[in-house]
Homo-oligomer: A and B are copies of this chain.
Amino acid sequence: MQRFLDAEPLTAAAFAPFGAVIEARDETSVPINQGYTTRFHALATAETGADGQAILSLFRARPRPPQLAMLERHPLGTQAFVPLGGRPWLVVVASAPSGDACRAFLASGDQGVQYAVGTWHHPLLAVEPQDFLVVDRAGPGENLEKAALPEPVTLRW
């Protein structure tokens, strides 16, 4: 029997157990630069531990089949993804590395996310080819754990 996981809209409230949504929310807005810029301030804080540093990378993603077989997590730091092409993309997170604990979110092209430290998530899921800015941790120690899902899950959106 095929198991399905249906994506829900991404909202800061729904995503709160897993991390932060990086989007222009009015309650974070501050006018700066003589009014020529609006700053949506501190939507996420990078956590890297005392021995790590936040690095900025670009991820160039291609769509992949919607059958999900594994999750991963980064126990030593946060990881943020912000789409650069203005196109929707998918986020799959879980409170534990089992299919039942998975939740999927359809992010708009104006929404990034930051996974909280140690949050189980699926590797990057593009709906269309798209580049992302990624802010995560560099530093000593093993910052990647992987876990197979007990059975594959098919993502629907």
Query: A residues bordering B, Cβ < 8 Å?
Result: 22-24, 28, 32-34, 36-48, 50, 53-64, 80, 82-86, 110, 112, 114, 123-124, 126, 131, 133-135, 138
B46 touches A60 (CB 8 A): no
Total copies of the chain: 2
Closest to A38 in B: B60
B45 touches A55 (CB 8 A): yes
Pairs across A and B, CB under 8 Å, 11 listed:
A22-B58, A33-B61, A37-B60, A39-B59, A41-B57, A42-B55, A43-B58, A44-B55, A54-B54, A82-B133, A84-B110
Choose among B36, B47, B80 the residue that contacts A124 (Cβ–Cβ < 8 A): B36
B84 touches A123 (CB 8 A): no
Contacts of A34 in B (CB 8 A): 64, 123
The 5 closest A-B pairs by CB, nearest first: A54-B54, A46-B54, A40-B58, A38-B60, A33-B123
Contacts of A134 in B (CB 8 A): 39
Contacts of A24 in B (CB 8 A): 58, 60, 131
B56 touches A123 (CB 8 A): no
Choose among B38, B40, B45, B57 the residue that contacts A138 (Cβ–Cβ < 8 A): B45
- Docked CA distance A50–B64 (Å): 40
- Docked CA distance A37–B34 (Å): 40
A56 touches B138 (CB 8 A): no
A53 touches B57 (CB 8 A): no
B84 touches A82 (CB 8 A): yes
